Chain A
């Protein structure tokens, strides 16, 4: 028994060591940093312990902008992308011809490099003195004025960012949902057919409840992923996100560490902790809602 226990710990050792050194220790460090005031990275000194870092971050207009951007991104992209993925998966699973081809096509964005996609989006949406992107050409065609989506008004930039994010996260969601749809026993549909169940009722009363665990999974991971958005913004608007007004929380953390205004690990840690609390809260709410709705569906 004792030998067995020892063996067990031995097998766990690599993971524990690795996680301890590269995850647990830095996490604790982040918490410590966030409370050390005027921490100097070079001299490893600080003047006091308290909530000043949090107060600074929460009063920093750049952080507030980043917070606002992140929230807008989350609220728009998570429901939209999940809904779109559901519609597309339903379409995919109801066609027979070329299903594999379309599945591959829809999966392509997943294996495409974020920055490359960003570049394509920039070209699509750009407006310069000399040439307009495809989208602006389309707007012009329908009699609209060109809009600078990349360096123009805030709503236009936000639109591109959301559009881009949805496009990037769709393939994974479609993949998950098509396999969830395929795993629903066909007999349920046959039984419903024999009972002359209308299509909409089949969807709401059978399909949706059957795949609801997968939808909740996608919503929760979607929320977390969107809160952690950063590279999407960089791909579209470059690294100077504060100036572009398109920063996200993670972007703010990065800037505080390494950006032009960088060198403030304490502020970065405080911002990171705030993000952590937000994600934790939202995830808890999500789990509670999903549990509750499962009971009511049941």
Chain B
């Protein structure tokens, strides 16, 4: 089912009663989520992504704006009539019920035509359990299961009534690192198998990038960018998005546009396709993989440390104009030449270099040479 948000806004009264102004958790969201895809709502904590999810689920009502499921306006519809499945961050499994009873719970609430026999319900629940591969554990209590297994039960419970939209609130945050990797692939698989439109919330960019068809980057309640993960990574619209996506993080320098060239300090690092007389202070973001080792390279950095990681080598260096402390560049391990020099020189890959306006932090686009 297609989900469309139109000028969606949610304001909360400020907790500090002395401040009259409302807190805007979600500010004028307008975007469309196509049917049958996996969407990651991504942003640092407190950016309003959970509120956005709650608005879609109906647990919160928006201050302004509209929500459509396909062409139906569901803005004022209570959550139980929206046909959604929601997986809570803490899973919210009923601790006194077995796994099977937990999964059957939503089915037992059906009324009228949809009412099912006990046998049919059990069959449905087992089917859902099979989908998330916990059909061996149906008689267990939630407390007798690992976090990853509980997560699967929660997903099965949300899926069993065949929702139009599946919503997951920080689905992986309660799992350890290894399980997180496994479970996120599980979520991807389950979503593919069921084809249900899925929206999940996360603060972990890697998580969102790795499994989403579409990511929505938020900050302070404001939509920053929406697009396919790779596109957003390759083409960030502002400094925040550039900094938020990617591990290791992007390296940010203070720089200048002068004589049609890009300067970091006194070094001309790249030619730009712009007017020669343009002069401007800018931020320059360079992805770690955007460095090419070159003894006569344009950018010279003060070498700090070299971390060999098998396939890649990570060169840690310093520069007085760098904003982000250490500069991390990742190069092919074979290219690295061990030398005693305290200086390391790089050329830059133009595609991996982004220029941002110093005031607005918005991206400045050039046709790079």
A206 touches B80 (CB 8 A): no
Is residue A261 within 8 Å, beta carbon to beta carbon, of the partner chain?
Answer: no
Chain A residues packing against B (C-beta within 8 Å): 185, 187-188, 190-198, 201, 205-206, 209-210, 297-298
Name which residue of chain B comes closest to A191, CB basis.
Answer: B92
A194 touches B80 (CB 8 A): yes
A198-B109, A298-B141 given as contacts; is B96 within 8 A of A190 (CB)? no
Is residue B49 within 8 Å, beta carbon to beta carbon, of the partner chain?
Answer: no
State the majority secondary structure of interface residues on A: helix
Docked complex Cα distance between A188 and B80 (Å): 14
Is residue B161 within 8 Å, beta carbon to beta carbon, of the partner chain?
Answer: yes
B57 touches A194 (CB 8 A): yes
Could you say which of B84, B94, B108 contacts A194, with CB atoms under 8 Å apart? Answer: B84
Docked complex Cα distance between A190 and B90 (Å): 12
Is residue B59 within 8 Å, beta carbon to beta carbon, of the partner chain?
Answer: yes
Docked complex Cα distance between A191 and B88 (Å): 8
Task: List the B side residues contacting A191 at CB < 8 Å.
Answer: 86, 88, 92, 157
Docked complex Cα distance between A29 and B145 (Å): 53
A187 touches B92 (CB 8 A): yes
B105 touches A195 (CB 8 A): yes
How many residues from B make CB contacts under 8 Å with A?
A: 24
Chain B residues packing against A (C-beta within 8 Å): 57-59, 78-81, 84-86, 88, 90, 92, 94-97, 105-106, 108-109, 141, 157, 161
Could you say which of A188, A190, A193, A196 contacts B94, with CB atoms under 8 Å apart? Answer: A188
- Of all A-B residue pairs in the complex, the 8 with the closest CB atoms, nearest first, are A196-B80, A195-B106, A187-B92, A209-B96, A191-B92, A194-B79, A187-B88, A196-B109
Name which residue of chain B comes closest to A294, CB basis.
Answer: B96
Query: Which of A187, A195, A298 has most B Cβ within 10 Å?
Result: A195
Task: List the B side residues contacting A185 at CB < 8 Å.
Answer: 90, 92
A188 touches B92 (CB 8 A): yes
A198-B109, A201-B109, A298-B141 given as contacts; is B79 within 8 A of A193 (CB)? yes
9 contacts across the A-B interface (CB closer than 8 A)? A190-B92, A193-B59, A194-B79, A194-B80, A195-B161, A196-B106, A205-B94, A209-B94, A209-B96
Docked complex Cα distance between A191 and B108 (Å): 14
